[in-house]
Structure 1
Amino acid sequence: MAAERSAVASLAGVLSRASTAPGGIREIVRTLNFGDLADRPIQDVYAALVDHICPPDGDLDDAHARDAYLEAVNEVMQDQPSDLEKPSPETIKDIIGKFIANAVNQRVVTAIGAGIITLPSNPDEIRAVEKGLKDFVRGCVAETMDEFSGDFRAADLRPEIDAIFERAAEVLGERGDDAAKEAAE
C-alpha cells in the first residue's frame, strides 16, 4: 500500500498548508501550478488535486490510490462541510479517514478478486458480504482515526500515516476474527 500511504501523506500536507494559508486551498492550488482551477467550484478544486495527490503512473497501486481519493472527495462533497476552503483539523481528519477507508476497502476487494480471500459460494451470502464490507472497513478505520491523537497539520506526517494504516489493518484483522467466531457459533 505504498502508493496509498504516499498519496495520503501528500493529501495531508496539502490540507495542512490549506488550513493555515491566507487564501486556503485556492492559494495552495495556485502554488501547485493549478492556478486556472483556483476560481472553479470547490468540488472541482479538490477533484483536480488528484493529479498532484496521486500522480497518474498507470500502475495498479496508483490507480487504487486515485480511485480511493476521488471516492473520498465525492463522499466529502456529499457531506458538504463548511470549511473546505480552509479545512479545520476535524475536516482534515475526516477527509483522510475516508481516503484511507476507501484505499483499504479496494485492497480487500482486490484480494478477493485474486483469490487471497475467499467468499462463500452462495450468491446471497456474497451480496451480504459485499454490502457489509465497506461499512466494516470504514468502522475499523474510524476506530483507528479516533485513536490518533496527533495533528494532521504537522510537518512530517509519513510516520503517522504509516502507523494509521498499520493499526487499521490490525483492527480489521481483529474485527474480522471476532466476526468469524460469531458466525461459527
Structure 2
Amino acid sequence: MGTSTAYGGPGGGTPLIPSWLGDPETGSEPDVDQNGPPAPDLVNPPTPPDKPPISKAADPQRFSGARSNFTRFAVSGGNDRASLGRAVSRYVSTSSGGARQAAQRMGASRGAGARLLGFLADANARGMREALLELNLGSMAGRPISEVFVALADHICPGAGTVDEGIAREAYIETIIDLAGEGLADLDAFTSEQMDTVFELYATHAIEARICNDIGTKVVTMPSNARVAHQVEKQLRDFIRGAVSDALIRTQESAPNMAQNHVLTFVDSVYESAFSILQSLGDAEADQ
C-alpha cells in the first residue's frame, strides 16, 4: 500500500503462475536456422506438432477469502487481528497455491532483490566506493545514502513497464524512503547488519505490494480516516517484516557463505521461507 500500484486485482481465471513470469535473470531465444527454412516435403509432410498444454485455469474465487478477511481487518481499524491472520494465510495457501508458488509470483522483485543484495554484498566486501565504481557510479561515492540508492535505481530495477516491474520499483522507492528512519547514513563503513536491514526492507515492501496488488486494493474497503488507514497499513507491513526477518535469519543459517552466482537462489529461499512463516503466523493469529 502506501504508494502501491493499485489495480482491481488479477482475474480469478488467471493461472497461479502466469506464463510470462519466468526467471528474471535468464532468457532463451528460439533456435534459428541461419540458412533459412528447408524446402517443404510435399510427399511426406511433417506431422503437426502437439499443441502446447493450456494452463489449467485457477479457481475463480481463490482471492475472495483473502479480500473479504482483509476488508474486515481494515474496517476494524486494525483491531481485528484474526481477520488479518486469515487474510494473509489464505493469500498464501489458497490464492497463491502455497509458499513456493507465492515466491515464484514475486517475478521481477526476485531479480531486483538479487541485484540489490549482490550490490550490498559487494559493498560490504570491498567497500562502497569500489562497488559503485563497478557500476560506473564512482562519482556517487561519499554522497548521502538516499542519493546513492536513487542513482542505483535503474541498475536494481531496470524496467517499469508492467505491473510486475512496477511492484519491484515501487518496493525499491519505498526502501529508499525508509533508509533514514533506520539510521543508515554512513556508507563508508557498510556493515553486514546494514546490508541485512536494507534487503529486509526491500523484501518486506515487495511482498506487501505483491499481496495488495493481487488482492486488489480497489475492491478492499479502507477506513476513510487517514490516521486509521495508516495504522492498518503499518500493521500489515510490520506483520510481513517480522516474517521476512525470521526468513532471512533462517536462510543465512542454511547458507552462511553466499556466493555471488547463487544470490538469486538465496533470494528465492528468503521469499519462500517468508511466505511459509506468514502462513503459520496468520493461522496462529486466526486461532486466537
Aligned amino acid, residue 271 of structure 2:
F
- Report if the CA contact (8 A) 1:17-1:153 is conserved: no
Corresponding residue for residue 157 of structure 1: 263
In structure 2, how many angstroms separate the alpha carbons of the residues matched to 1:59 and 1:152? 34
In structure 2, how many angstroms separate the alpha carbons of the residues matched to 1:106 and 1:50? 18
Corresponding residue for residue 17 of structure 1: 122
TM-superposition CA deviations, 1:94-147 (whole Å, max 9, x none):
1111110110011111122168xx85x6848x9464442111111111121222
Corresponding residue for residue 47 of structure 1: 150
- 1:89 matches 2:192: yes
Corresponding residue for residue 8 of structure 1: 113
Unaligned runs of 5+ in 1: none
CA 1:66–1:152: 2 relative to 1, 3 Å: farther
Which structure has the higher relative contact order (CA within 8 Å, separation 6+)? 2
- 1:172 matches 2:275: no
In structure 2, how many angstroms separate the alpha carbons of the residues matched to 1:151 and 1:48? 30
Map 1:50-69 to 2 at 5 A.
50-69=153-172
TM-superposition CA deviations, 1:58-108 (whole Å, max 9, x none):
121111111111212221222223552342221111111111011001111
Deviation at 1:44, TM superposition (A): 0.4
TM-score normalised by structure 1 residue count: 0.81
In structure 2, how many angstroms separate the alpha carbons of the residues matched to 1:153 and 1:10? 14
- Report if the CA contact (8 A) 1:3-1:65 is conserved: yes
Q: Percent identity?
A: 34
Deviation at 1:163, TM superposition (A): 0.7
Q: Pick the structure with more helix per residue.
A: 1
Unaligned runs of 5+ in 2: 1-105
CA 1:74–1:114: 2 relative to 1, 3 Å: closer
TM-superposition CA deviations, 1:134-176 (whole Å, max 9, x none):
1111111112122232447532222111111001011111111
TM-superposition CA deviations, 1:15-51 (whole Å, max 9, x none):
1111122xx2233222212344335323201221111
Identify which range, 66-75 or 157-166, moves more after superposition: 66-75
Count of residues paired in the alignment: 176
- 1:37 matches 2:140: yes
TM-score normalised by structure 2 residue count: 0.54
In structure 2, how many angstroms separate the alpha carbons of the residues matched to 1:31 and 1:122? 45
CA RMSD of aligned residues (A): 2.5
